[in-house]
Structure 1
């Protein structure tokens, strides 16, 4: 078999895993550089470093504004689907994350169907750490635009549009707000003066930072991170690889004998009941 044919037979899951391995290796190298730099800074300028650390600690962790309908501690989570669905799918993604893009292009249709059927209640954590490693503003601006779309009741549709049109990881196209506003035109009813002002004014910049701080404190270090009822299922659930068919099977097994939820239009729901919120599926703190 030629190399070209062999490449053509690689599955989307294999590409996700390879991309995630690259991201994790990059993260480890970055952490080593950060640690080395921090040690040198302490030796050269201990007093100045102490001021920087204190300033970091004093930053507010509660955003002054959060998108409408967000849930959880400090309203950091975007809910999609029926709040009374029997299962909760928790997803951590970065708008610039290529592995997230591969995951979404393979699984978004299945997840949307599960939400619309009242089988799952998705809790989305929109993180933005890739800007730190590759520079730029695409992760943060994309996350803020998703918060603006949540205000307008179009989070899911705009989320799907962003991942279908995701640029290469090193291309900071989402750092250009005009690109995000142009993509919003693909979502019926989203391109409004209110949405454009929200994006251009970076209305939820503090919220975006707080979501990332929450991710930094969690035990999860890469994206996509996907959990079903608190149990990690990406890239595997036990011995089984994640596939669209397996995801449906796992959800149906978890929901057996339980009543389905009632989803709102287009995957959007009003504020959830307390029983179905992430109070029952909190972000784990780093040990």
Structure 2
């Protein structure tokens, strides 16, 4: 083999090695984004826990009346909004906060895979809304957005509106979702959602007590950060090797 050919092969190998390193680095950054952002949403300090506990006390007072669940709610105490058939062999339980940046990161990375699997009838996703960021940073955007999402469930538009809320999520410190007008404006991105019935549901806070009860269930189950995502009871957030492809394979294996 000529020296020129050997040099060409070495150069090709070097380029391949560099490309592989770039891919590894990109994957590491992706995982770090999810894990790192999740830390923002974890109750770590006693002071923060105290604030949340205080807020929880206030919420329990607000929710002393009857708790109304949105149409089609399921799971324990009807606190989950299901997407996908009840006959699916795998269930993905998702605890999310519409103000949480780590939840947006999770959704941005896994949304298309989850939607594909639910549409194929292989997965049932059960979404629970919590108000963790309202407690951490004060405000009411988590609660208001959660209520609006529950209102969209009554219209049969939950999945699409859920996705719109995460796609348009404001910065964590910006409590933009505290505005019902903003939430109704975003509903315009979902065909047929901005009816008078939906607007009234949003403005009346019809499901505020239900959202508050969902957050209490989140705490009672010992969860401390969002997103908390479980596949058939297994916490996926503890898996540092999780990717959309791996999630899809886990679900498809369960369906064999």
TM-score norm. by structure 1 comes to 0.74
Superposed CA offset, 1:136-187 (max 9, x none) = 1100000000100000001100000000000111000101111111110000
1:208 offset after TM fit, Å?
0.9
Q: How does 1:57-96 map to 2 (within 5 A)?
A: 63-96=66-99
**Structure 1: which 5+ runs fail to align?**
1-6, 39-52, 257-287
Cα separation, partners in 2 of 1:221 and 1:55, compared to 1, 3 Å: closer
Check the 8 A contact 2:229/2:237 in 1, yes or no.
yes
Counterparts of 1:250 and 1:178, CA distance in 2: 40
Matches of 1:234 and 1:186, distance apart in 2: 30
CA RMSD of aligned residues (A): 2.7
Judge conservation of contact 2:63–2:212 (CA < 8 Å) in 1: no
2:158 maps to 1:163: no
Q: CA deviation at 1:23?
A: 2.9
Deviates more, 1:173-182 or 1:226-235: 226-235
Match of 1:14 among 19, 26, 32: 32
Structure 2 distance, partners of 1:225, 1:196, is 30
Structure 2 gap segments, 5+ residues each: 1-24
Q: Name the SS for the 1:11 alignment partner.
A: helix
Q: Does the 8 Å contact 2:48/2:136 carry over to 1?
A: no
In the alignment, the residues of structure 2 paired with residue 191 and residue 228 of structure 1 have an alpha-carbon distance, to the nearest angstrom, of 33
Kindly indicate whether the alpha-carbon contact (under 8 Å) linking 1:61 and 1:213 is maintained by their aligned counterparts in 2.
Answer: no
SS class of match (2:225): coil
* 94-103 vs 9-18, which moves further: 9-18
Partner of 1:182: 185
Q: 1:219 Cα shift?
A: 1.8
TM-score normalized with structure 2 length: 0.82
Whole-angstrom distance in 2 between the partners of 1:14 and 1:221: 19
Q: Report the CA distance between 1:75 and its aligned residue.
A: 1.2
- Partners of 2:215 and 2:246 in 1: how far apart? 30
Give the Å deviation of 1:118: 0.4
Deviation at 1:29, TM superposition (A): 1.8
Please give the secondary structure, in 2, of the residue aligned with 1:190.
coil
- CA contact 1:148–1:199 (8 Å) conserved in 2: yes
Deviations 1:75-98 (A, max 9, x none): 111111111111111111001010
Distance apart, 1:235 and its partner CA: 4.4
Q: CA deviation at 1:206?
A: 0.8
Query: Per-residue CA shift, 1:50-88, capped at 9, x if unaligned?
Result: xxx999888767853110000123211111111111111
Correspondence 1:124-203 to 2 at 5 A = 124-203=127-206
CA shift in 2, pair 1:148/1:98, >3 Å: same
Matching residue of 2:107: 104
Q: Which has the higher helix share?
A: 2
